[in-house]
Structure 1
Amino acid sequence: MSIVIEQVEAASPALAEFLVAHHAELEHTAPAESRHALVFERLLAPGVRLFAGHLDGRPVATGALATVEDGHEEIKSMRTDPGLRGRGLGRTMLAFLLDDAASRGVRRISLETGSAEFFVPARALYSAAGFRECGPFGSYALDPYSTFMTLELHPPS
């Protein structure tokens, strides 16, 4: 299964629907104040690079990189189509995001994901890619519903 990943410059109805479904999936995982997924409009704001993976013309994966500080970015809105999970789309999107960041000289990538059972596959994906748990970063505070992870990047040689 091969997806085409491109940076999103403008909203499409199909992508907006895909990302709205992401928020709906997260509703049962934590109280509202402990859910940190960005709404679609914020994913198109300056300082955020949104990417979508398409298969047969429909969005099947998303991921974004948001600036935390110079040389440090955060992964936001990682999602794969629930009907296609377990087929490598998440690994493909994560590798794409890490390559994009490294090619721009980003030295550290961090993320916040949930601590609930629902997020076990996501945490396993990030751990397999070399991410390690860390404390809160940026504007985050310690939260029992959150797991914070980080990865040091090495510039391409």
Structure 2
Amino acid sequence: MMPDYRIIADDLTGPEIAALLRLHLDEMHQWSPPESVHAMPIERLRQPDVTFFSAWDGERLAACGAIKHLADDHGEVKSMRADPDYRGKGAGKAILLRLLDEAAKRGYRRVSLETGRPEPFLPARRLYESHGFTECPPFADYTEDPFSICMTKTL
């Protein structure tokens, strides 16, 4: 049975979120060359154009994710990460659904994201595909990169 996650807007001050974002950045650098890592550091995620959410299973942090404002009709999913203990347990899905709900509330017509192409990113790509994301050309400041894949979803 999947936990019933409590999802909150997160101010990125807790030690649990800092640790999960450190893991996120470490894994991105493990799986991709530095020029292909587009994960935002915690300081950047605190900026006003980013809204950050965390999913909790009781007192345990299960996952996190953010939505970045690109334009009045376009948002970007950032910093999607499930704690290793919560991978495959619906935590990432819960965050993604919250981000899509936030995008719809803002009136975005499209939500896009960049993720990795190497095999460790396959579960994330499958999650995005299962929610209607399809591969697209690079958007915003992204460029063609053999380690990256850009995806988008029309709302």
TM over 0.5: same fold?
Answer: yes
- Paired residue for 2:144? 142
> Percent of aligned positions with the same letter in both sequences?
45
List per-residue Cα deviations over 1:54-109 (Å, max 9, x = no partner): 11222210010011222101000000011121111111111111011101211110
- Paired residue for 2:8? 6
- State how far apart, in whole Å, the 1-side matches of 2:85 and 2:29 are: 19
**TM-align CA RMSD:** 1.0
Please state how far the C-alpha of 1:9 moved relative to its aligned partner.
2.5
TM-score, reference length from structure 2: 0.95
Among 27, 37, 54, the alignment partner of 1:52 is: 54
Which aligned runs of 4 or more in structure 1 are off by greater than 4 angstroms? Answer: none
Please state how far the C-alpha of 1:26 moved relative to its aligned partner.
1.5
Among 105, 113, 123, the alignment partner of 1:103 is: 105
List per-residue Cα deviations over 1:28-50 (Å, max 9, x = no partner): 21111100010111111110000
- Paired residue for 1:88? 90
Among 7, 18, 21, the alignment partner of 1:19 is: 21
Consecutive unaligned residues in structure 1, runs of 5 or more: none
Aligned residues: 153
Please state how far the C-alpha of 1:115 moved relative to its aligned partner.
0.3
Consecutive unaligned residues in structure 2, runs of 5 or more: none
Among 126, 131, 135, the alignment partner of 1:124 is: 126
Q: Which amino acid aligns with 2:99?
A: L
TM-score, reference length from structure 1: 0.94
